[in-house]
Amino acid sequence: MESAKGKSPAKYLKPIMFVGTCSDAGKSIINTAFCRIFKQDGYTPAPFKAQNMSLNSYSTIEGGEMGRAQVVQAEACCLPPHTDMNPVLLKPTDDKNSQVILNGKPIGNLSAKEYFRMKEGKEELFKEACLAFERLSAKYNPIVLEGAGSISELNLKERDITNMRMAIAADASVFLVADIDRGGIFASVYGTIALLSSEERSRIKGIIINKFRGDDSLFAEGKAIIEKLTGIPVVGIIPWFNDIKIEEEDSVVLDTKNRNIRENKINVAIILLQRMSNFTDFDVLELDPRFNTFYTNRPEDLEKSDIIILPGTKNTISDLMVIKNNGMARAIIDAYKRGKKVIGICGGYQMLGRRIEDPDYVEGKIPVVAGLGLLPVCTVIEKGKITKQSRFTFLPVYDNSCKGYEIHMGRTCITDEVEEKPVAVLEDGRRDGYYLNDRCWGSYLHGILDNNAALEHLAKGFDKQNERTSFDYESFKEEQYNKLADLVRSHVNMEYIYSQL
């Protein structure tokens, strides 16, 4: 079989793994690039990350929950996402506790102290991770593994199930990704490798310098110094880029998002919540030229917006109390009264209702709290979790080929005195959300705005639509994966990398 780049692939490649000197070094992006590169070269790659910690998650077609970073990488591989690609997911519920998802299903909540100190449970999780890896390996080649954070956190290494222990178990060739933009590149690379055991060091086949600004030929001396210090070749220097749009995993990127109002656009204010989840729901708004999206926790910003969106959250009641205390709740209500559009998704939908009850104290110690009262619905938080992917019809008069997914712990019902007015009718007959009017509605469906029907409805009523009337998000993402692969391919020594696989 001839590959997209014109060479016949070997029958088998060893697994490849990208690890980092620190968090946010760019492992996920590099991993995504190689997923597409191997696909272009005629292989059948699949991504894998043994354990992920993120509030950005996704519901697979089988109804399992997994981290969105591996969903992006699966898309780059042209594969449907599966929980085997991310068998362990930690979803922080507050500053100290996380929900533990194993093979797509929640198995309980643990504090960070409990999680990192448990021994038998960690061994069981590592065993499950290895089984998931083996299942993927039986179907796909190569497996493109991703590490987490730094690989040299000495106080955590004995309990680590994601980094070098997984590399050894998978017999993977490992490449270390270092972020040069944050400075200290020599110390971070040398120190990271020096702190590894001899067995671990033997796994490191190359170093990739990421986020380089300027002419990389000026780093020739630096490259030689790193290779002399470590005895490991620098196999790539990836330039800083901002013209390729790949979905981000970490919420730290929200700090760099646009915060400016633009008069010639439809300004969309997304409420910045402490436990905000699935902010990737709004990536499409940042890419559609009709909209100008910004994140805010300042009440005065809502006066300048056209649309306000309350996003999902891992702790609805806690975040609702925060926005009540900081004035955002009152500002949202006032903005709606002044004619602004107000939309709620998942936890945001729950907040827009009349009250939220937590009789089993699933989210905390508050049994009931009043909502914003804009929608005539009430929510009961339940222990059971709904994770489901669905096709649906968006409103009775719109497209019936939309798709999205649910991830929530709660049942929302309309109050007795109002008629049922769903936002969406799902393929299994269930009705989702509540549609008050063109200016206010809420839905449990993540990804709802990725559908043109919902996107066009959101833009309805504004006179600032001066560029186009539709946006093909799926085609756009495909284009970005190819651009990313071409960029990385042109800045790494692919011949050497293949020689190590």
Domain that holds residue 357: 265-465
Give the CATH number for residue 324: 3.40.50.880
What pLDDT shows up at residue 2?
A: 42
- The pLDDT, as a whole number, for residue 197 is 93
| pLDDT tens digit sequence for 35-74 | 999 999 999 999 999 999 888 889 999 999 999 999 999 9
279 and 164 housed in the same domain: no
Task: List the structure tokens of 193.
Answer: 């490798």
pLDDT score, position 399 = 62
CA nearest to 277, candidates 444, 473, 428: 444
491 catalytically annotated:
no
For residues 237 and 224, give the distance between their C-alpha atoms in angstroms, rounded to a whole number: 13
**Is residue 470 domain-resident?**
no
Residue 413 — very low, low, confident or very high, per pLDDT cuts 50/70/90? Answer: very high
Q: How far apart are the first and last CA of the chain?
A: 19
Give backbone dihedrals phi and psi of 287, rounded to 5 degrees, phi first.
-95, -30
**Residues whose CB falls within 8 Å of the CB of residue 265, separated by 6 or more in sequence, listed in order:** 289, 290, 291, 292, 464
**Cβ proximity of 435 and 395 under 8 Å:** yes
In angstroms, the CA 145 to CA 411 distance is 37
Model confidence pLDDT, tens digit, residues 298-351: 999 998 899 999 999 989 999 999 999 999 999 999 999 999 999 999 999 999
Helix (H) or strand (E) holding 319: helix 316-325
Q: Helix, strand, or coil here: 69? A: helix
What does the DSSP assignment read for 212-246?
E-S-GGGGHHHHHHHHHHHS--EEEEEEP-SSS--
**Token pair of 452 as six digits:** 């043109």
Q: What is the DSSP string of 436-457?
A: EETTEEEES-BTGGGSHHHHHH
List the 88-92 sheet strands across, edge first.
Answer: 51-53, 88-92, 97-102, 105-111
In 51-141, the DSSP E strands lie at: 51-53, 57-59, 65-67, 88-92, 97-102, 105-111
CA 343 – CA 299 distance, rounded (Å): 16
Confirm whether 361 is domain-assigned: yes
For residues 362 and 220, state if they share a domain. Answer: no
Given a cut of 60, whether residue 454 has pLDDT beyond it is: yes
| Residues 443 and 489 grouped into a single domain | no
423 confidence band (pLDDT: 50, 70, 90): very high
pLDDT confidence of 3, banded at 50, 70, 90?
very low
**Does any domain span residue 259?**
no
Query: Which of 82, 408, 446, 457 does the annotation list as catalytic?
Result: 446
pLDDT tops 60 at residue 256: no
Distance CA 429, CA 448 (A): 17
Task: Name the nearest CA neighbour of 56 among 278, 239, 261.
Answer: 278
The CA angle 414-415-419, to the nearest 5 degrees, is 65
Q: Check whether residue 29 and residue 96 sit in a common domain.
A: yes
pTM of this prediction exceeds 0.85: no
- Say which residue, 105 or 397, is predicted with more confidence: 105
Average pLDDT over residues 469-483: 84
Q: Is residue 257 part of a domain?
A: no
When the pLDDT of each residue in the chain is averaged and rounded to a whole number, the result is 89
Q: What CA–CA distance (Å, rounded) separates 48 from 142?
A: 10
| One domain for residues 483 and 461 | no
Give mean pLDDT, residues 197-207.
95
| Distance separating alpha carbons of residues 33 and 300, to the nearest angstrom | 40
- Asked whether residue 271 falls in the same domain as residue 160, the answer is no
Question: Model confidence at 4, in pLDDT bands (50, 70, 90)?
Answer: very low
Q: For residue 251, is it within any domain? A: no
pLDDT confidence of residue 279? 87
State the CATH number of the domain containing residue 124.
Answer: 3.40.50.300
Mean pLDDT of 149-163: 84
User: What integer is the mean pLDDT of 286-292?
Assistant: 89
Q: Is residue 369 helix, strand or coil?
A: strand
Q: Residues, the chain, total?
A: 501
pLDDT of res. 263? 79
pLDDT of 71: 94
pLDDT digit string (tens) for 171-201? Answer: 999 999 999 998 899 999 999 999 999 999 9
DSSP structure class, residue 330: H
The answer to whether the CB of 67 falls within 8 A of the CB of 54 is yes
**Joined tokens for residue 477:** 């993402």
Active-site residue, 346 included: yes
Residues 394 and 360 in one domain: yes
pLDDT of residue 397: 66
For the chain, how many structural domains are there in total? 2
Q: What is the pLDDT of residues 117-139, one digit of tens each?
A: 666 667 888 999 999 999 999 99
434 pLDDT above the threshold of 60: yes
- pLDDT tens digit string along 92-104? 877 777 888 899 9
Alpha carbon distance 259, 276 (integer Å): 17
Q: In what order do the strands lie in the sheet with 173-179?
A: 46-48, 143-146, 16-20, 173-179, 204-212, 234-239
Q: Do residues 269 and 227 both lie within one domain?
A: no
7 within a domain of the structure (yes/no)? no
Yes or no: say if 275 and 92 are a contact pair by the CB < 8 Å rule: yes
Residues 233 and 274 reside in one and the same domain: no
pLDDT at 155 over 90: no
In a domain, 256, yes or no: no
Other CB atoms within 10 Å distance of the CB of residue 12? 9
User: How would you class 419 by CB atoms within 10 Å of its CB: exposed for 0-12, middle for 13-18, buried for 19 or more?
Assistant: exposed
- In terms of domains, do 446 and 483 share one? no
Query: Given a cut of 70, is residue 266 above it in pLDDT?
Result: yes
Does one domain contain both 286 and 315? yes
Given the residues 346, 378, 402, 440, the one annotated as active site: 346
Task: Name the DSSP letter for residue 367.
Answer: -
H helix or E strand, kind and range, residue 191: helix 185-194
* Residue 2 domain-assigned (yes or no): no
Buried b (16+ CB within 10 A) or exposed e, 450-482: bbbbbbbbbbeeeebbeeeeebebeeebeebbb
If you ran DSSP here, which 8-state letter would residue 79 be given? -
Q: What is the mean pLDDT of residues 235-241?
A: 94
Q: Are residues 190 and 271 in the same domain?
A: no
Q: Which amino acid, 247?
A: E
